[in-house]
Amino acid sequence: MPNDLPLRKIIHVDMDAFYASVEELDNPELKGKPVAVGGNEIRGVVSAANYEARKYGVRSAMSGYLAKKNCPELIFVKPRYDRYKEISKQIRAIFHDYTDLVEPLSLDEAYLDVTVNKKGNPSASLIAKEIRQRIFNELGLAASAGISINKFIAKVASDFNKPNGQKTVNPEEVLEFLENLDIRKFYGVGKVTAQKMYKLGIFTGKDLKAKTLDFLDNHFGKSGRYYYHVVRGIHNSEVKPHRIPKSVGAERTFSENLSSEIFMLERLQHIAEELERRLIKSKIAGKTVTLKIKYSDFTLNTRSKTLPYFVSNKELILETAKELLYQEELHNSVRLLGISLANLNTEKKKIETKEEIISVQLKFEF
C-alpha cells in the first residue's frame, strides 16, 4: 500500500427530510403536522416523510395506505420535483463557494472534497458548520453533515447527529469508529446483506475486520473486497463532480440481425424489463422515452417521445417504445435495440463501490 498519498477531507451533506421540508417551507400551515410527500391513502408510495410523520412510523417507500393507517392525521402532498431541483441547485451553489469537487448523490445529498478549498480553511468541520448555517440562513432548510477522511465514513457519519447536526470522525478516531460500528450502518449493507452477515457472526465492524479477504470474497463477491477495505478505513473513491446521469437505459445487441417486428417487440419487452429493474434500483422515473435502433449497416436511428408524467414501469415504457418503433418504416435489418429514459425526476445516482487503496496516516491535521 502506498504510504505517500495525502488523506482527504471529505464532507457528506445530507438535507433533513428534504422534500417534506421544502413543502413545509412553501406551505407554513404544514409546520408541526405529519406530512408525507407522494402517495395517498389508497395507492402509491411515500417518497419522503417529515420528522413529525416519522414519529408515527411513516417511512419513505412505505405504501400510502399503510402510512395513513400508522398515522391517521397524515397529510399527503404531491411531489413537486421541479421545485426540489430548483432548491437543490441553490444548495449546490453554496457548496461551490467552497469547492468545485462536489459530487451529488441525489437532489438532497452530496460529497464535497475540501482538502484544498476556496476559503483556505484547514478545518473541514468548520466548513461543514458554515455550509449548514448558510443553507439554513439563505434557504430556511436544515442539513446534516458527516466529516472524515473518505466518502464512506463521511456518509456514515452524516447520519449520526441527524437532524440538523454533524459528526466529525478525525483520522485518529477512524479505526475505532469503524470497529464499533453496527454492521447495518455500513453504507452498502442493506437488509438482506445484514441478515447474511448476522448468520456469519458479523454484527459490528470489529467482527467484519476479523474476517479474511478470502472469506469475504467467497461470501460477498466483489462487495466482500469493498467491506474488507472500508472497515480498515480504506476507501479512496474520489469525489467526482457531475455524476448525475441524464438518462438511464438498457439495450441489446443481437447475434442475428432482426428484420421481423414481432421478434423486435419480444426483445423490446426484455429490454423494458431490464430498464424497469434499473429504475427501481435507483428509484428513478423519467418522462422522455427514447428508442434507439442500430441497423445492420451500422446506421443509428433514435426516436423520442416525452410523456406528460413520470414513468418507471415496464408496461408504460414498452407501450411508448412500441409506438416509437412503428413510427417509421425500418429501412434494414436491426442489430441493436435500446430504450432509455431521460428527463428524470430525482436524478438519483447509483452508488459506486469501486475503490482505490490508500493508507490511513493517523497524524493528519484535520
Q: What residues contact 38, with CB distance under 8 A and at least 6 apart?
A: 19, 44, 45, 46, 47, 48, 64, 76, 77, 78, 79
DSSP structure class, residue 44: S
CB of 187 to Mg ion, least distance (A): 14
Whole-number Å distance between alpha carbons of 297 and 294: 8
Q: How far is the CB of 47 from Mg ion (least distance, A)?
A: 12
- List residues near Mg ion by CB under 5 A: 14-15, 18, 108
Collapsing DSSP states into helix, strand and coil, what is residue 65? helix
Give the DSSP per-residue string, 303-363: EEEEEEEEE-SHHHHHHHHHHHHTTS---S-EEEEEEEEEEESS---PPP---------S-
Q: What is the rounded end-to-end Cα distance, in angstroms, of the chain?
A: 22
**H helices present in 180-221, as ranges:** 191-199, 205-209, 213-220
CB of 105 to Mg ion, least distance (A): 9
The smaller minimum CB distance to Mg ion, of residues 155 and 229, is found at 155
CB atoms within 10 A of CB 235: 25
Active site residue 266: no
Q: 10 Å Cβ neighbour count for 131?
A: 22
By C-beta, is 14 or 52 nearer to Mg ion?
Answer: 14
**Long-range contacts of range 157-161, CB-CB < 8 Å, 24 or more positions apart?**
157/12, 158/12, 158/13, 158/14, 159/14, 159/185
Smallest separation (angstroms) from Mg ion to the CB of 55: 17
Closer residue to Mg ion in complex, CB, 210/351:
351
Q: Which amino acid is at 351?
A: I
Residues 124, 168: Cα–Cα separation, whole Å: 9
Q: Which of 23, 52, 103, 109 is catalytic?
A: 109
Q: Which is nearer to Mg ion, 18 or 187 (CB)?
A: 18
Cβ closer to Mg ion: 86 or 266?
86
- Are 111 and 239 a contacting pair, CB within 8 Å? yes
Tell the smallest beta-carbon distance from residue 280 to Mg ion (Å).
20
Residues 356, 360, 365, 366, CA torsion sign: positive
Q: What's the min distance (Å) between Cβ of 201 and Mg ion?
A: 32
Residue number with CB closer to Mg ion (134 or 270): 134
Catalytic residues: 109
